Amino acid sequence: MTEVLKTRDEIAQGDKWKLEDIFPSDDDWETTYKETEKKIAQAEKYAGKIAESADLLVECLQWTDELSLGVENIYTYAKMRRDEDNRVSIYQAMTDRAATLSVQAGSALSFFIPELMSIPDDRFAELRQDSRLELYDHYFDHILRRKEHVLSLAEEKLLAEASEMADAPSTIFSMANDADLKLGRIKDEEGREQELTKGNFVKYMESKDRAVRQDAFNTLYSAYGRQINSWAAMLNASVKADCFFARIRHYDSARQAALDDDKVPLSVYDSLISSVHDFLPEMYRYTKLRKKVLQLSELHMYDIYVPMVAEIETKIDFAEARDMVNKSLQPLGEGYLKVLDSAYSSGWIDTYENLGKTSGAYSWGTYSSHPYVLLNYQETLDSVFTLTHEMGHALHSYFSNQKQSHLYAGYKIFVAEVASTLNESLLIKYLIEHTNDNKMKAYLINHYLEQFRGTVFRQTMFAEFERDIHAAVEKNEALTAEYLSGMYFELNKKYYGPDVVSDEQIAMEWSRIPHFYNAFYVYKYATGFSAATALAQQILNEGEPAVRRYLDFLGSGGSDYPIELLRKAGVDMEKPEPVKQGLQVFASMVNELESLLENH
């Protein structure tokens, strides 16, 4: 019997998120939209006048905050409604309108930072004497730090207007990838024909049946290959936009511009790549072990995901997944677990895949709502890790929203990945410790090693790819499909080593990675995993003091720079040690897996 993907209406209400907590209805969204349009028009009340008095500056800052929160609610609701089913035209239109409104708001707000920077130092110091402005100290300091990269009022307004066009490659990719692309059909382990989706692709790549894995691999890349020149054009346009905005803002490179917002030195990025290169021999040792255990004469890219301890069945329903996550996170204390329990019962989570639903997983929401989590749960161990990962994001948002004003509640991605991957670290440690079955232990260690491979090695490979394609555009080289595929293919060979056959299809993998449209994002997964490994170890070893530091970190939002927040929590990411410590854990786990499998 063919497994048919359900429509949105066929998904049980209790398995859907409750977006009514943002807006009770689309009509309420429309009302707020019109109110926000009026609020945008109030810009003229403040433009050119904020230095006149502290009263006017405070009022302007409050207007800015209210406008930003309104746009945040409008855009988040529309986009998340669209994500439920990308085929629904009403939410396509609402998302487009929300994006346009966001651009209009950005244009209206564009006067503020250039005008703030033009205030003479002595006058600005005088204004900041007002106690009502103490809240904005870090905000002001962050703005003034980047003074040389802010343009004139007219230029900033022009860039704000152009941002919607600059987002076009990402928007086009999303629609092509999520709404229009059909991957095709494959045969499952029983010979039944199944629809291949981005949501179930990894499940088939973990199949014990090699023919199923190969079929899924070939079918997926055949689909992307049919449009390879279009994917290249999209990515090329996106990278060009990155480089354009960096150049216009007087940065030496797009990478420097991207890292500057977090005040992260380029050396942190380069050190990550260098440290991972140093440990590539450990990765090769792992792939060699995989080839031996799977008893394959050739290890292909479609053999990378299948569990090495293949006889262990790990079909896990969602209720069981929740229980595993809750138990593993007990070291974080009762307060954390109470919020987690509330999340399950309060419409935070959209659990299962349906026709047209956006692939993958994320945590999102607004300051005035609770956080939300989009999943495409597949009853695999990997899906359990995705659940705890996204709940890490969600609870980080919850605690930040509770402790911080809207101004500082939003945290940087650099620290966001720490909260999510720390949850994963605690989950795997719990699972390994709570089994006496060596087969299961080997299976779990294999899964932990896969977390390292996917989150440290693979994301660093992505980061190196991003660095190099941006550098190519900055040297006026064209990112054709052939160029991108050639570069990606060589990186894949370097990262996976001599015991893996780099199938020609893997050269196209870049074409399906949505994170490449949010430049210099993915390296934060690797640095975040490293920081999380260290913090989890502190929590398990120290107990309450480490938990207290960590919960303070979760509640700190964006009240300081990411490097500083992590330093207060207990790790210094300006040093290579956290990354190397994580990679040493990887090496020791490879040793343990070798020992377990030899004794098996």
Quick one: average pLDDT of 295-307? 93
**Whether residue 565 has pLDDT greater than 90:** yes
Number of CB atoms found within 10 A of residue 367's CB: 19
pLDDT value of position 310? 65
Q: Which residues pair with 349 in a beta bridge?
A: 373
**CA atoms 395, 398, 401, 402: torsion sign:** negative
H/E stretch holding 290 reads helix 280-293
How much is the CA Rg of the chain, to the nearest whole Å?
A: 24
Question: For residue range 374-432, what is the model confidence (pLDDT) as tens digits?
Answer: 999 999 888 998 999 999 999 999 999 999 999 999 998 889 889 998 998 899 999 99
Q: How confident is the model at residue 146 (pLDDT cuts 50, 70, 90)?
A: confident
Q: Which of 115, 206, 282, 390 is catalytic?
A: 390
pLDDT value of position 281? 97
Q: How confident is the model at residue 534 (pLDDT cuts 50, 70, 90)?
A: confident
- The answer to whether the predicted template modeling score (pTM) of the entire model surpasses 0.85 is no
- The structure tokens listed for 270 are 């380069």
- The overall average pLDDT reported for the chain is 93
As a whole number of angstroms, the distance between CA 434 and CA 431 comes to 5
Choose the weakest-confidence range: 218-222, 233-237, 294-298, 582-586.
582-586
pLDDT value of position 253? 97
Listed as own residue / partner, the contacts of 180-185 with beta carbons closer than 8 Å and 24 or more positions apart are 181/223, 181/224, 181/227, 182/223, 183/219, 183/220, 183/223, 184/219, 184/222, 184/223, 185/219
pLDDT value of position 507? 97
Question: Which segment, 53-62, 138-147, 261-270, 308-317, is predicted with the most confidence on average?
Answer: 53-62
Q: Among all chains, which residue has been given the structure tokens 């969602």? A: 318
pLDDT value of position 597? 87
**Whether residue 1 has pLDDT greater than 70:** no
pLDDT value of position 600? 57
- Give the list of residues 6+ apart from residue 546 with CB closer than 8 angstroms, or none: 535, 538, 539, 570
- The structure tokens listed for 423 are 């949850």
pLDDT value of position 309? 79
Q: In what order do the strands lie in the sheet with 349-350?
A: 349-350, 372-374, 362-364
As a whole number of angstroms, the distance between CA 78 and CA 91 comes to 6
- Give the list of residues 6+ apart from residue 126 with CB closer than 8 angstroms, or none: none
Q: Tell me the domain boundaries of the chain.
A: 8-166
Question: For residue range 438-482, what is the model confidence (pLDDT) as tens digits?
Answer: 888 898 898 889 889 999 999 999 999 999 999 999 999 999 999
Structural fold of domain 8-166: Butyryl-CoA Dehydrogenase, subunit A; domain 3 (1.20.140)
pLDDT value of position 2? 53
pLDDT value of position 35? 97
- The structure tokens listed for 215 are 């079929």
**Whether residue 224 has pLDDT greater than 70:** yes
Annotated catalytic, 390?
yes
pLDDT value of position 599? 64
Question: For residue range 59-110, what is the model confidence (pLDDT) as tens digits?
Answer: 999 999 999 999 999 999 999 999 999 999 999 999 999 999 999 999 999 8
pLDDT value of position 578? 87
As a whole number of angstroms, the distance between CA 539 and CA 548 comes to 9
**Whether residue 53 has pLDDT greater than 80:** yes
Question: Which segment, 20-34, 172-186, 524-538, is predicted with the most confidence on average?
Answer: 20-34
As a whole number of angstroms, the distance between CA 76 and CA 91 comes to 11
Name the percent of the chain lying above pLDDT 90: 79
pLDDT value of position 413? 82
